[in-house]
Amino acid sequence: MPKALLKIVRMLRDTRGVAAVEFAFAFPILILLLVGTLDIGRALWTTSTLDHAAREGARYASLRGAESRYPASDAEIQAFVRNRAIGIDPSRLTVSVAWAPNRYSGGTVTIQVARPFGFLLTGFLDLSPFELTGEATMTVL
Could you report the per-residue pLDDT of 59-110, keeping only the tens digit for each?
999 999 999 999 999 999 999 999 999 999 999 999 999 999 999 999 999 9
Whether 105 maps to a domain, the answer reads: yes
Overall domain count for the chain = 1
- Burial class, 123, CB count within 10 angstroms (exposed 0-12 / middle 13-18 / buried 19+): exposed
pLDDT on residue 1:
64
| Least confident span in 50-59, 95-104, 112-121 | 112-121
The dihedrals phi and psi of 133, each to the nearest 5 degrees, come to -135, 160
Is there a contact between 49 and 114 (Cβ–Cβ < 8 Å)? no
Residue 8 lies in a domain: no
Q: What's the N-to-C CA distance of the chain in angstroms?
A: 97
User: Of 8-12, 43-47, 52-56, 102-106, where does mean pLDDT reach its minimum?
Assistant: 8-12
Share of the chain above pLDDT 70, in %: 98
Residue 125: domain span: 18-139
7 belongs to a structural domain: no
Phi/psi at 73 (nearest 5 deg)?
A: -85, 165
- Flag whether pLDDT at 138 surpasses 90: yes
**What's the average model confidence in pLDDT over 13-18?**
79
Q: Is residue 74 part of a domain?
A: yes
The answer as to whether 1 is a domain residue is no
119: confidence class by pLDDT, cuts 50, 70, 90: confident
Q: Residue 109 falls within a domain, yes or no?
A: yes
Backbone angles phi, psi at 110, to 5 degrees: -120, 130
Task: Return the SS3 of 95.
Answer: strand
Residue 10 lies in a domain: no
Q: Which helix (H) or strand (E) holds 112?
A: strand 108-117
Mean pLDDT of 32-50: 94
The SS3 call for residue 101 is coil
Across residues 38-52, what is the average pLDDT? 96
Measure the CA–CA gap between 111 and 133, rounded to whole angstroms.
Answer: 10
Polymer length in residues for the chain: 141
Q: Which amino acid is at 43?
A: A
Residue 99 lies in a domain: yes
